[in-house]
Amino acid sequence: MEERKHTSSHYEMELQEIKNGLIYIGVLTETAIQMAMKSLTERDSDLAHKVIKDDDEIDTLDTDLEERCIKILALRQPTAIDLRFITTAIKITGHLERIGDMAANIAEKAIQLNEEPKLKPYIDLPRMAELVGEMIKKSLDSFIGNDLNMAEEVRRMEQVTDDLNEQIFRELLTFMMEDSKTIHRSLMIMQVSKNLERIADHAKGIADMVTYMVTGESVRHQSCVSDEKEPA
């Protein structure tokens, strides 16, 4: 639904700047994930170091955006949709900041893995990384467009990443059992996979907040809708 503008154009602008800020942080985290994965698949440790260093910028932007939200709470005393928007923005920037940390974690693992011979071609991990990148993008689009369907889609995608993560675990487990020399590398790759899976959790967290923002009702900590629809 088309929202009417605030009578105060300054207030309107402050809210718009929060939106823009979140999109910008979102783009940075997506890029960080892509680069971390590239540093792994193309064995480029310099790139990995850059990802770790760039995470500082995400942290700074997160702090700055949160401060601006708190200032709006204090000075504008928002209500109703504006209040839900600001609380959602504070949560989203927190999620994005954690996503940035996880991209940096992946880059750290890449640096270690790049020191050793390649265990196997990376196939599922890049797929998973692409999926979580998509989830971040969609979760932020759902925020900008107040789009409940898209938020729901992010929640569905999160289940796919759970499945992928499990599949990767099982595969690596067989590697480790067959050859103990692969254990260290396998564990490292497991952690990359685990980090991607947690990024997906955060994207879902963003989608849940969007649903709260639009409807005023919390969907967090609820069992998945599709589970409940299963016939008994």
Partner 1 sequence: MDSDIIIKLNKVNFYYGQSRALTDITMNFRKNKVSALIGPSGCGKSTLLRLLNRMNDLIDGTRIEGEIFFEEKNIYAKDVDPVEIRRKVGMVFQKPNPFPKTIYNNIAYGPKLTSMNTDDLDTLVEQSLKQAVLWDEVKDILNKSAMNLSGGQQQRLCIARALAMKPDILLMDEPTSALDPISTAKIEELIEELKKNYTIIIVTHNMQQAARISDETAFFYLGNMVEYNKTEKIFTNPDVKHTEEYITGRFG
Residues that bind partner 1 (CB under 8 A): 1, 3-8, 11, 77-84, 216
> Which residue shows structure tokens 């879902």?
204
Nearer Cβ to partner 1 (6/43): 6
Residue 10 and residue 12: Cα distance in Å, rounded?
5
Nearer Cβ to partner 1 (7/180): 7
Nearest distance in Å: CB 90, partner 1 = 15
Nearest distance in Å: CB 3, partner 1 = 8
Instruction: Quote the strand ranges of 40-140, DSSP E.
Output: none
Mark residue 221 as left, alpha or beta (left: phi above 0; alpha: psi -120 to 50; beta: remaining): left
Nearest distance in Å: CB 4, partner 1 = 4
Q: Which residues contact 117 (CB under 8 A, 6 or more apart)?
A: none
Nearest distance in Å: CB 18, partner 1 = 15
Nearer Cβ to partner 1 (77/149): 77
Residue 144 and residue 154: Cα distance in Å, rounded?
14
Nearest-CA neighbor of 224 among 152, 150, 161, 166? Answer: 152
Q: How far is CA 15 from the centre of its chain?
A: 22
Nearer Cβ to partner 1 (83/148): 83
Nearest distance in Å: CB 222, partner 1 = 18
Nearer Cβ to partner 1 (7/223): 7
